[in-house]
Structure 1
Amino acid sequence: MVYVPGGYTQIGSDTGLEQEKPTFWVLVKPFLMDQHEVTVGQFREFVQATSYQTEAEKFGNAGVFSDTTKQWGLVEGANWRYPYGPKAGPAAANQPVAQVSWNDAQAYAKWAGKRLPDEIEWEHAARNGTNSRNLYSFGNDLTANGNPLANTWNGQFPDHDQRTDGFHWAAPVGTFGSSPLGLTDMAGNLWEWCANYQQSYESLLSKAMPLPTERVQRGGSFLCEPSWCHGYRVSGRSSSTPETAVMHVGFRCVKDL
């Protein structure tokens, strides 16, 4: 795990989407964060130790984006072992685990003696614990000396992925190096579940609105492309219901000091 120093961070973006506004300041306590997204190998250890069955396995299917139809659909047999469906083959041990719901991620975190990060903690870590105002956790550019720094969609989604980053789907964790703080894949690869409910910042600050049903996701994924989803920006946000499992969402854990 990586030590994330505490400090003041300005959450959100004045130039981002409405759900990223208004910006506000918060004091974050120091904590430890997984260096990378939880891998298939790590999740397998959890399953072997507990005989845990994920929600996708109970349902018998999970969400997969089809390259053929250019649409999302439920694929029979898709789960954390086969994130794109059985016909695509099993995921490698060093791949970030996908097709895990928020509930599944919670169960893993509890078993590991950790927890899911609050989205404010996640953004503080993505800002390197220093309130960096860069667009991404590693700077303002997606490449350095011609080399890609994140696994994202390269081209016009969903028509064509040029794969200039070397991957069409998820990449092994840590493939693209680390942020100044030492965290990998804080932009792209998989969206990551956070502990809290998805609220507008306005309602979060006022605490006047009832809690919604969806949970927050951060970090963007290999399907993100700025014309429709620039979610791998530090301030990018998404959400889904806690039982949802799809091929481009995973998680990492944190631990209190």
Structure 2
Amino acid sequence: MTENINHEHTEKTCCTPTRGGRKDTLYQQSDNVTQVRAEIDPVDIPGGTSFLGTDAPQILGDGENPMRRKKLKPFRIGATTVSNKYFAEFVAATGYATEAETFGWSFVFWTDIPAQLRYTKGVDGVEWWRRVDGSNWKDICGPSTQEHCWSPDHPVVHVSHNDALAYARWRGGRLPTEAEWEHAARAGQGDVRFPWGERGPDDTEVFPCNIWQGSFPNQNTCADGWRTTAPARSFEPNAFGLFNMIGNVWEWTSDTYKVKSLKKSVRKSLDSMRGFKVLKGGSFLCHRSYCYRYRIAARSGNSPDSTTTHQGFRVVWDF
């Protein structure tokens, strides 16, 4: 059984529901930062002039265009998004409670909800997202689902922007800017659409990343081998050695979501998105027919306290 619920923000950005509200919590840096960096295997990214955005936008109103050039300093970035294993270490060391745990619920995609949970609330306009009480980074699909839905090598999900900030600070790092994220994803290839080049994934033959295949949101053929998240270190890395920059999970950045537009409709939607943070990369729920945001220049935004089964993050360190 489902029931629709209205939210403070009526604009539905991509396939990502919004909780609304804000809270900022930061933890102090851990004492073993050097050891942790070695275990996570961060990648050194050269500085220089890079691209941000595109002159061939695919989703008008998202702020993908125009292309800009940005000068960046060298930085280090995680080869993968943060996995459940490493997030569990953070929680064990600090006693941190995620916002999904504090609120007591999070958003779960409708096909992943256990059969015993008969009554859930759907999000108005994107009814495939359900509010599930007791869902969080450990019990991803709902109460008592860790045994079936959780794996140490998969990306941690149900983490808010605030949770990501807390973890990154504890690890001695930070979240990437949007420009840094795109620079790392392009891997020195210039103005390319995807981390591997120009040819996009499809439903039948080309599977370079973990996205949806089939008819969204009702049929996923799982032709790429995964129905939900894949391991954080899976598929072929880009030329810099970074895994899953596209697909798998959306990645939080440090930037505030802004769009320069003269269109009244765009300005109106942005009024409901004040304080939102930029996410990059798309997720396992993206399909070209609905959410063609699994491109380097594509972007989405969500409130800093929102959590879902397809949002994660990776950490950046300064030299």
Give the TM-score, by structure 1 length.
0.91
Q: Report the residue type matching 2:231 in the other structure.
A: P
- Worse-superposed segment, 15-24 or 171-180: 15-24
Match runs of 1:122-201 below 5 Å: 122-128=181-187, 130=188, 132-142=190-200, 146=205, 148-200=207-259
- Pair member with larger Rg: 2
Shift of 1:26: 1.0
Rounded Cα–Cα distance in structure 1 between residues aligned with 2:178 and 2:274: 15
Shift of 1:201: 5.1
Give the structure 2 partner of residue 101 of structure 1: 160
Q: Secondary structure of the equivalent of 2:106? A: strand
Q: Report the residue type matching 1:217 in the other structure.
A: L
Kindly indicate whether the alpha-carbon contact (under 8 Å) linking 2:210 and 2:226 is maintained by their aligned counterparts in 1: yes
Q: Report the residue type matching 2:65 in the other structure.
A: K
Give the structure 2 partner of residue 112 of structure 1: 171
1:220 to 266, 271, 282: 282
When residues 87 and 227 of structure 1 are mapped into structure 2, their CA distance, relative to the original with a 3 A threshold, is: farther
**Deviation per CA, 1:202-230, whole angstroms, max 9, x where unpaired?**
69xxxxx9993100100100000011111
Question: Does 2:146 correspond to 1:80?
Answer: no
Give the structure 2 partner of residue 7 of structure 1: 48
Match runs of 1:18-97 below 5 Å: 18=60, 19-67=63-111, 71-86=128-143, 88=145, 89-97=148-156
Kindly indicate whether the alpha-carbon contact (under 8 Å) linking 1:142 and 1:150 is maintained by their aligned counterparts in 2: no
Q: Which runs of 5+ in 2 are unaligned?
A: 1-41, 114-121, 263-269
Q: Secondary structure of the equivalent of 1:71? A: strand
Give the structure 2 partner of residue 206 of structure 1: none
When residues 186 and 160 of structure 1 are mapped into structure 2, their CA distance, relative to the original with a 3 A threshold, is: same
Rounded Cα–Cα distance in structure 2 between residues aligned with 1:10 and 1:103: 27
Kindly indicate whether the alpha-carbon contact (under 8 Å) linking 1:8 and 1:25 is maintained by their aligned counterparts in 2: yes
Q: Report the residue type matching 2:46 in the other structure.
A: P
Kindly indicate whether the alpha-carbon contact (under 8 Å) linking 1:99 and 1:247 is maintained by their aligned counterparts in 2: yes
- Worse-superposed segment, 214-223 or 83-92: 83-92
Rounded Cα–Cα distance in structure 2 between residues aligned with 1:110 and 1:126: 23
- Worse-superposed segment, 59-68 or 100-109: 59-68
- Worse-superposed segment, 24-33 or 65-74: 65-74
Identity %: 38
Kindly indicate whether the alpha-carbon contact (under 8 Å) linking 1:20 and 1:235 is maintained by their aligned counterparts in 2: yes
Q: Count matched residues.
A: 250
Kindly indicate whether the alpha-carbon contact (under 8 Å) linking 2:51 and 2:179 is maintained by their aligned counterparts in 1: no
CA RMSD of aligned residues (A): 2.2
Q: Secondary structure of the equivalent of 1:20? A: coil
Rounded Cα–Cα distance in structure 1 between residues aligned with 2:316 and 2:251: 12
Q: Report the residue type matching 2:282 in the other structure.
A: G
Q: Secondary structure of the equivalent of 1:86? A: coil
Give the TM-score, by structure 2 length.
0.74
Q: Which runs of 5+ in 1 are unaligned?
A: 204-208
Kindly indicate whether the alpha-carbon contact (under 8 Å) linking 2:135 and 2:142 is maintained by their aligned counterparts in 1: yes
Shift of 1:71: 1.5
Rounded Cα–Cα distance in structure 2 between residues aligned with 1:48 and 1:158: 36
Shift of 1:3: 0.8
Rounded Cα–Cα distance in structure 2 between residues aligned with 1:59 and 1:216: 22
Question: Does 2:298 correspond to 1:236?
Answer: yes
Kindly indicate whether the alpha-carbon contact (under 8 Å) linking 1:22 and 1:201 is maintained by their aligned counterparts in 2: no
- Worse-superposed segment, 65-74 or 76-85: 65-74
Kindly indicate whether the alpha-carbon contact (under 8 Å) linking 2:276 and 2:301 is maintained by their aligned counterparts in 1: yes
